[in-house]
Amino acid sequence: MRFLLIVLLLFLGLPSFLHSQTLLLNKEFGLGSPYSEPDGRNDIVRISDSDFITLAKVKGNQTGKSEFSLERYTNELNSIWKVSLNVEAYEDYKDLYYNGKDLVLLSVIHNESEKKTRMEAYGFDISNGSRTWTKELEAYEVGEWEMHPHKGKVKETFLDVVCEHANHNYVTPFEYKHNVHFSPDNKKIVSYVFNYGEKYLSASVSVYDNKCNLLSRGKVGIDNDFINNGIYVDNQGLIYLLNVNNFGKVNFIRYSLDTKDFEIIELPASNHQKEDFHISFQDDGIYIANLELSQEKLTGVKYTKCNFTQKSIDMIVYEELTDEMKNAIAKERKKNKSLKGEENWMDYDLTHFIVNPDKSVMMALEKRDLYAEGYPHIKKDAFDKSHNVEILGHVQAEGIILFSFNKNGDKQWSSYLAKNQVYPANDGLNTISFVLDNSPQDHIRILYASTEGMDAAPHTINMVSFDRNSGKIIKNIVLPNQDKLVLVKDYTLFLDESNIVLVGKKGLMGKSSSIAKFKL
């Protein structure tokens, strides 16, 4: 099935309430299935300054086989090549990246009848899209679930919560999940699978180069009464674990899979619950960000700079959500008629943690909720088999809070953007939430689609620009949207400061789509 691909040119430079638009040409695009997996996979890859590759689901439902289209485009949206990929029900594409030579697609094959899971890598020639190699990276037995009160656990993300309540055959079951993170220079990959069938929780961990050659492998344990919040890899191939207990204590562990040597930096405990850890490797240390909660309600944001060379904590920055800021947010919420009820300060996610080259910091939070009839509030917790309950629910994404700090950790500003997006949970965050671009020198911009109500057709695609020095909104622009598209989040590419490529689906769980290029 082929669908209309629209290229638009939008000239801005006038005040935000004035703009002109020009339709340049029509193309076709094949995002044909309304059921795009809600697990946050990467579906668009920049190959060079002049072209990019997309992976689009053409056919397929929540169960059964699927067909994908792998296609390379120029920045002018001319197709260079297109190939079809057929996927069995037991296989799920995990990630897509370019290593400088080959396009690499990581894929998880889970065999529930034999209790086995494995991850394979497929290499594609970027000149014509042909598959040139296949590698089996790792394979593991999946044991029967075993739990005792003090056994280590694994923290859920919001997308994990969405996937747990989707159709069982729609996404990879969490016991079979291969978690993947890239090193800062994107030359190394860490993959880890948690072993839930053992008396004590452990993870089978592998480190590869970006050509999928194995560099090191081993098992690491998660201590009793701790919850793992992620395993990461640095440019040297050392791995890092973030383990948190219920008393606010954080163990940040550096570990060598080759020598088994490890070091621990303990982050100071507090009375607050800690959520949504993000990590950023920098030349002056490792920055760790998280949200601080009290009784599940947001109280503030924090980031910490650690130094394993000195075995020290060099900086702790905690910014409380003050009454003044709460009042300002409440005022902005009331201006948006689609937001109902008072703010309860629950269900915020730390979506972005950006350490700029000058070591200034920006953090973005979005209020996200999954709900259904009989399930008024579903919170993030630690993984548990009892959470796997299929529901016909909705995902709601509300306001965005931005924080900006200078290199010394002093808050420069905070800002808030009121919005309300509601969509069927089967789509996850694919067509709601927002895309943030931090590349312009003097501003930060956010792109999102909005609707008039639950399950309603989208009516606007909005681009909001914040002044980088003050945090004030300097532009709030409605982009052309004659076809009533809802933005497909993973298919947004900021080519440079002035050019954006995005894909949108038509209507509720739409089966047709358009791709557009905007000149800003």
Residues 488-505 pLDDT 10s: 888 898 888 888 888 888
Q: Are strands 250-255 and 262-267 parallel, antiparallel or unpaired?
A: antiparallel
Separation CA 42–CA 247 (nearest Å)? 35
Q: CA angle, 472 as apex, 304 and 355 as ends, to 5°?
A: 25
Q: How far, in Å, CA of 415 to CA of 425, rounded?
A: 28
- Look at residue 17 in the predicted model and tell me its pLDDT: 36
Query: Is 387 exposed, middle or buried (CB count within 10 Å of its CB: 0-12, 13-18, 19+)?
Result: middle
Angstrom distances, CA of residue 162 to CA of 128, 149, 275, 342, 368: 36, 25, 17, 24, 11
**Which comes out higher in pLDDT, residue 394 or 29?**
394
**pLDDT beyond 80 at 387:** yes
CA-closest candidate to residue 258, choices 216, 202, 222: 216
Does the pLDDT at position 13 exceed 80?
Answer: no
Beta carbons of 364 and 464 less than 8 angstroms apart:
no
Q: How far apart are CA 356 and CA 411, in angstroms?
A: 15
At residue 179 the predicted structure's pLDDT band, cuts being 50, 70 and 90, is: very high
Based on DSSP, count helices (H) and strands (E) in the chain, helices before strands.
2, 35
At 451 the pLDDT is: 66
Predicted pLDDT of residue 3: 32
pLDDT for the residue numbered 397: 94
Q: Which residues contact 507 (CB under 8 A, 6 or more apart)?
A: 457, 458, 484, 486
121-137 mean pLDDT: 98
The answer on pLDDT for 303 being more than 60 is: yes
Q: Mind spelling out the 3-state secondary structure of 95-164? A: EEEECCCEEEEEEEEEECCCCEEEEEEEEEECCCCCEEEEEEEEEEECCCCCCCCCCCEEECCHHHHHHH
Exposed / middle / buried, residue 371 (Cβ in 10 Å: 0-12, 13-18, 19+): middle
> Does the pLDDT of residue 376 top 80, yes or no?
no
Block residue for tokens 């919040």? 229
User: Tens digits of per-residue pLDDT, 165-178?
Assistant: 998 889 999 999 99
Q: Return left, alpha or beta for 129; rule: phi > 0 is left, psi -120 to 50 is alpha, else beta.
A: left
Question: What's the angle, vertex CA 194, arms to CA 244 and CA 302, rounded to 5?
Answer: 25
- Kindly report the length of the chain: 520
Report pLDDT for 515: 85
**What pLDDT shows up at residue 38?**
87
Q: What is the pLDDT of residues 450-492, one digit of tens each?
A: 765 555 555 688 899 999 999 999 999 888 777 777 888 888 9
How does residue 508 score in pLDDT terms, banded at 50, 70 and 90?
low
Please give the pLDDT value at position 518: 79
The answer, yes or no, to whether residue 340 has pLDDT greater than 90, is: no
Element (H, E) at 491: strand 485-494
The confidence score (pLDDT) of residue 143 equals 93
Average pLDDT over residues 359-374: 95
Model pLDDT, residue 447: 93
- Quickly state the pLDDT bin for 246 (edges 50, 70, 90): confident
Say yes or no to pLDDT of 149 above 60: yes
Rounded to whole angstroms, how far apart are CA atoms 437 and 136?
Answer: 35
Angstrom CA distances, 241 to 49, 103, 389, stand at 35, 29, 29
- Identify whether the C-beta of residue 241 lies closer than 8 Å to the C-beta of residue 233: no
CB atoms within 10 A of CB 296: 14
Per cent of the chain over pLDDT 90 is 70
pLDDT band at 37 (very low <50, low <70, confident <90, very high): confident
pLDDT at 34 over 70: yes
Mean pLDDT of the chain: 89
Interval 24-30 mean pLDDT: 62
CA-CA distance, 458 to 461, in Å (whole number)?
A: 8
- pLDDT over 70 at 510, yes or no: no
Reduce the DSSP state of residue 216 to 3 states and report it: strand
Confidence of residue 16 (pLDDT cuts 50, 70, 90): very low
